[in-house]
Structure 1
Amino acid sequence: MEIHPKITPIYQTSVFKFEDLNELELYFSEPGSRYLYSRNGNPNADELAEAINRLEGGAGAMVTGSGMAAIFAAVLAYCQAGDHVLCAADIYGGSSTLLNTELNRMGISVTYVPFEQFYELQSFVQPTTRLMLVETMSNPLLRVADLGRLAEECHFHGLKLVVDNTFATPVLTQPLALGADIVLHSVTKYLSGHSDVTAGAVVAADAGVAARLKQIGVIYGLTLSPMESWLAVRGLKTLRLRVREHSRNALAIANFLADHPAVRDIYYPGLVQHPQHELAVAQGAGLFGGMMSILLADDPEVVNAFMRRTKYFPFAPSLAGVDSSLSYPLGTSHRALTPEQQQQLGITTGLVRLSIGIEPLEELMADLAQALD
């Protein structure tokens, strides 16, 4: 009896069988014709990689065990010991920790570029500089990078542009179409979307780089398990619907919070007062995502009181699930920075990051109102 499942089954196996030596030789002579070992490739992981590659318009993709593994693979695709990378100063704390510690120990040095100097890199570029790492929308202050302009600047200096597109997703922005060389995601966040998967993805504009990424993934053991891949594929199917609803709720909430006396400042690209609002309109397909940060009084007790009172926004140091949540950059993602670095970036005691979910808008608004009041 032939079986034709509509949904790809979970290939929960670590190894695949061969009939004889002839099949083994076919595996090596015809790459992609069959599977050998799940670290080298698995139908579920390949399905996820191909789906994300299509969304980003790439030449090839690899999925990894986490977003951090994706960042690691992206840097190694272009760098070796003795090389130098540029990184946005306003970036996820885990990215800077990886660069400062493990990659630095491997002989790859880093210089951080303030947001205001993204498009004038001459003073930062060294003979050994290979790439620049940025986020489409920065974590946690939601600054929007002009990726087309930045790609031109990077390529003028012979650098590759690596873009973390986690906050924006390909529904809002496709960095490769704007000139980026690699785009990466923490699939844990919006792409999977249900807070039940830990995964990452790296997509390359060039097929040769895509092959190199796969080689790095296999050799370093960065590849993703079948079950996680299957769950992420399932989540990915509703990405467009979820991002639209996240964005709709977030814009309404941002407008509400912008006028609230307890909120000293708000960082959301959908607001007309946001410094990069027009860029976000042009680069974001008319949507602005579900992430924002608000600035309360710089008093731990004020922040604690807000956190305790919210019912729909649990304090959970991640983001982008269908359920709303909040996080505290000073004490979690950017904890490893020095006090001076935190102050320079505007990451202070009163800064709270909100991940707006897809719950009924009126319930989220009422919850935030009572928590702030």
Structure 2
Amino acid sequence: MSDSNTPTENLVRRTPWPETISRAVVTPLQPSVVYASPSPDRLDDQYEGRAKGYTYAREGHPNADVLAQKIDMMEGVSGGIITSSGMSAVSAVLLGLLQSGDHVVAADQLYGRSMRMLTQDMPRFGVTATLADPTNVAAMRKAVTPATKMILVEVVSNPTLRIADMQGIAALAQEIGALLVVDNTFTTPRAYRPFEHGADVVVHSVTKLLAGHSDVTLGYAVARDPALQKKIYDTSVTFGFTASPFDCWLAERGLYSFNLRFDRAQENARALADHLATLPNVKRVLYPTRQDHPDHNRATAILGEYGSNMVSFEIEGGRAAANAMTLAAPNIAFAPTLGDIGTTLSHPASSSHRALTPEARAALGMSEGFFRVSVGVEDIRVLIDEFTTAIHAAAQVN
């Protein structure tokens, strides 16, 4: 038996954080799941809002709050929450603000899992949805029913980069008394701030441009009305949409370079789009601020100079040409993601929209030769050379 005075006896006790007159320049990482309070009375103070404190990480933790405050500042609001993924943010909004019997009008080119949730999962809870073209307010209006409680849109559609009529949609939402929810992942607050244009709720996949390095999975949700935000928060806590402190810490670090990354990626995207349009095997190029984009005037009115870091294009040929192109560009990650610091390439027919029939994809303008590029911050000359080589390789198949 050990001596009661041995120095190892109290190892289980937590060592107090060192006191210091200096402070860390970098935000500390706090992975603790639980937090100790001095007494039941002080715990009451925390839960009843008289004192700020943490109790259990599922209900909130410092790293999530620091990150949320950063994005709040960008969106011009307060009280946002960080969730475990972009889809958990969407889920917290839908599950927190809708009830059985409610109806949603949603854009018909939302992120694939958002569409699945609206059309396959939410109906199990008695919530129905109708998908409509967000570039056409008349089509959105036609989808409205007496039970419509929410309109859900993305400013720039995925992957055809169409521009929603945000002014008309905001007016429609106000007219019918529905909540306007905007997924601002593609545009980010640097290009578009939804609350300044009539939105009631904003969500983000922080995983993408905001964090920017493909090494975190996080979401963000915020409502203008604190009462609605409380419902979103309670749903997130109840369903356990808890964000990892480490992911929050990494995402905060990513935000420090956000403006630099965003501007460089936009500059590259514009240049790449213009170059792709000159290549003989390219049937069409979609970039919002190009004169030949179907929504060019609306894009410049809404986004100004920020046409997005996304470029979509279509090459001649079918799946064989698509395979040849990706194989000829080994340094461009062929991956179903966007917003990374490096350029990534995705093929909707085999990834995001694979569940649709070829006919349904064709109706949306997505053939086997259709690609979406998330443009990164590389030297634009390198990107132009790589895409030129890849598209030339695809042309040899035809």
Q: Normalising to structure 2: TM-score of the pair?
A: 0.90
Among candidates 54, 59, 62, match of residue 73 of structure 2:
54
Report matched runs for 1:207-222 at 5 Å.
Answer: 207-222=226-241
Contact 1:59/1:210 (8 A) holds in 2 = no
CA distance in 2, matches of 1:251, 1:13: 44
What CA distance in whole angstroms lies between the structure 2 residues aligned with 1:31 and 1:218?
Answer: 20
CA contact (8 A) 1:65 1:224 kept: yes
Corresponding residue for residue 257 of structure 1: 276
2:316 counterpart of 1:316:
no
Identity %: 37
Q: How far apart are residue 297 of structure 1 and its match?
A: 2.1
Alpha-carbon distance in 2 for matches of 1:186, 1:74 = 13
Asked if 1:329 is matched to 2:348, the reply is yes
Amino acid at match of 1:125: V
| Alignment correspondent of 2:362 | 343
- The residue identity in structure 2 corresponding to 1:18 is S
Of stretches 22-31 and 188-197 in structure 1, the one that deviates more from structure 2 is 22-31
CA distance in 2, matches of 1:358, 1:285: 21
Change (3 A) 1:31 1:237: farther
Q: One-letter code of the match for 2:93?
A: A
Q: 1:371 to 1:121 in 2, by over 3 A?
A: closer
Say which is worse superposed, 136-145 or 272-281, in terms of deviation: 272-281
Instruction: Determine if contact 1:88/1:115 at 8 Å carries over to the other structure.
Output: yes
One-letter code aligned to 1:101:
Q
Counterpart in 1 of 2:287? Answer: 268
* Residue 6 (str. 1) matches residue 25 (str. 2): yes
What is the TM-score when the length of structure 1 is the normalising length? 0.96
Higher-Rg structure is 2
Secondary structure, in 3 states, of the residue corresponding to 1:70? helix
What CA distance in whole angstroms lies between the structure 2 residues aligned with 1:307 and 1:80? 45
Whether contact under 8 Å (2:133, 2:140) holds in the other structure is no
Counterpart Cα distance in 2 of 1:121 and 1:101: 20
Q: Which residue is equivalent to 2:157?
A: 138
Q: Distance in 2 between matches of 1:183 and 1:305?
A: 39
Cα offset, 1:279, TM superposition: 2.0
Match of 2:13 in 1: none
* Superposed counterparts of 1:272-291, under 5 Å: 272-291=291-310
1:294 to 310, 313, 328: 313
Deviations 1:172-225 (A, max 9, x none): 111111111111111110000001011111122222222221111111111211
Q: Indicate whether 1:109 and 2:128 are aligned.
A: yes
Is the CA contact 2:222–2:229 (under 8 Å) kept in the aligned structure 1?
A: yes
Q: Give how far 1:323 is off.
A: 0.7
Shift of residue 273 of structure 1? 1.1
Distance change (3 Å), C-alpha of 1:338 and 1:104: farther
Displacement of 1:32 in angstroms is: 5.9
Structure 2 partner of 1:306: 325
Provide the residue aligned with 1:30 in structure 2: 49
Over 4 Å off, 4+ runs? none
Gaps of 5+ in 1: none
Distance 2:51 2:314 in 1: 51
Letter in 1 for 2:295: Q
Does 2:202 match 1:194?
A: no
